[in-house]
Amino acid sequence: MQKIPSKNSVQKIMGHIKKIKRKKGTVYRAEVRRRGHQYTSKTFSKLTEAREWSKRMEKMLKLLSNSSSDKRVSLLEDEIEQLKKEIKRIKEGSPEINN
């Protein structure tokens, strides 16, 4: 018999993007929230990058909340590799802005 979660036990993961106008131009802050937890955010110079990051973070949080510890380790390793690539790209002169 499979237990069906009640509305109160399901944790919603929500992401949205804020447009921020600055002196040097417009930037986009992607924020991802999970009920009962702190939110995470990152600022980008391009809207498409903000959307991609937001979707990736939402997917990761959903998978982490529904997966075994082995899958969690694998997902975290994948995310670490993605972050290493982003850091390398930033160091090479990409215009992306970080928080």
**What integer is the mean pLDDT of 92-96?**
64
SS3 20: strand
Enter the DSSP assignment of 98.
-
78: pLDDT strictly greater than 90? no
Residue found under tokens 């002169």: 93
Global confidence as pTM:
0.57
Q: 14-62 pLDDT, tens per residue?
A: 788 999 999 999 999 999 887 766 778 999 999 999 999 888 888 877 7
CATH number of 11-91: 3.30.160
More confidently predicted of 4 and 73: 73
Question: At 96, which amino acid appears?
Answer: E
Sorting pLDDT into bands at 50, 70 and 90, what band is 95?
low
Beta strands in 1-99 (DSSP E): 13-22, 25-34, 40-44
Which tokens sit at 96? 């992306």
